[in-house]
Amino acid sequence: MNRKLLIAIVIILVLLVILIALNLKKSKGSATSLSSLLAEAKTLEIKNNFLEARAVYQKLIADFSNSSEVMNWQKKTEELNLRLLFSPAITPKSILYEIKPGDTLTKIANKFKTTADLIKKSNNLTDDKILPGRKIKVWTAPFSIIVDKSQNTLILKTDEEIMKTYIVSTGKNNSTPTGNFKITNKLINPTWFKAGTVVPAGSPENILGSRWLGFDLPGYGLHGTNEPQSLGKQVTQGCVRLSNPDIEELYTIIPEGTEVTITD
């Protein structure tokens, strides 16, 4: 073997060693970064710094998109979204509003296109009494809903941000209509009018569950269920069915007028 060839081989081997070392260093750095971000997120959660914790989970999703933990991080992000929504913490999508003489929760809710229930929950109010001069958190960003029939999911969004994903049931034989609708009425413990008969709230035969959010298409809407085991399937008569805790959560959050888009 001539000297020039030997030198070339040595150079190649040295370069390979350097590349391997750099890759190992990069891999080690990524692992350290991932573990440090997870530790930071958990610490922030313990301190109830939900906004900062959510930002860390969003960074994890963006920086480690190939990780098998992405779905869990997304769930944590959505969990923190709701904790922020239901807490007094002010976010970029809410304001600190000073109550004025003559104000009521309903009046304030209508002004900012939110719900009185959400104002009460996010300010830890136990009743409808409010005093002028007090400052309260009011959510100001609009909500919207997207139902995907093929996946049996409902996505709650605010502006273009996903707040939470829910598992739902949709209509058998493709009976859930597609298109754009609006929530026009809201009922607590709805009565079910079934083929000329009246099934009262609380009856085991009442399939509407604990809440009803009706569309501007008569007879259709979002509602709870007395059959939670059916969620995730296409089994309804055309409406979108959620668990009772989930529909109660949505009932608190979304006002009449909220847009609902249903896709195949």
171 belongs to a structural domain: yes
Percent of the chain exceeding pLDDT 90 equals 82
pLDDT at residue 12, rounded to an integer: 75
pLDDT at residue 28, rounded to an integer: 46
Q: What does residue 184 show for φ and ψ, rounded to 5 degrees? A: -115, -15
CB 83, CB 48: distance < 8 Å: no
Q: Enter the pTM of the model.
A: 0.85
Query: Is residue 239 annotated as part of the catalytic site, yes or no?
Result: yes
pLDDT at residue 45, rounded to an integer: 92
150 and 124 within one domain: no
Q: What is the 3-state secondary structure (H, E, C) of 70-104?
A: HHHHHHHHHHHHHHHHCCCCCCCCEEEEECCCCCC
Of the candidates 239, 240, 250, 253, the residue annotated as catalytic is: 239
Question: How many structural domains is the chain composed of?
Answer: 3
Of the candidates 223, 240, 252, 255, the residue annotated as catalytic is: 223
CB 74, CB 60: distance < 8 Å: no
What is the distance of C-alpha 184 from the center of its chain? 21
4 belongs to a structural domain: no
Range of 131's domain? Answer: 94-139
pLDDT at residue 196, rounded to an integer: 78
50 belongs to a structural domain: yes
Q: How confident is the model at residue 29 (pLDDT cuts 50, 70, 90)?
A: very low
89 belongs to a structural domain: no
pLDDT at residue 8, rounded to an integer: 65
* pLDDT at 151 > cutoff 80: yes
CATH code for the domain of 205: 2.40.440.10
pLDDT digits (tens, 9 = 90+) for 63-90: 999 999 999 999 999 999 999 999 999 9
Outline where the chain has alpha helix (H).
Answer: 3-46, 50-63, 70-85, 105-112, 116-122, 244-253
- Output the average pLDDT for the chain: 91
CB 50, CB 57: distance < 8 Å: no
Percent of the chain exceeding pLDDT 70 equals 89
CATH code for the domain of 134: 3.10.350.10
Query: Is residue 188 annotated as part of the catalytic site, yes or no?
Result: no
Q: What does residue 169 show for φ and ψ, rounded to 5 degrees? A: -115, 145
Those residues with Cβ within 8 angstroms of residue 190's Cβ, 6 or more apart along the chain or in another chain: 201, 206, 208, 211, 212, 223
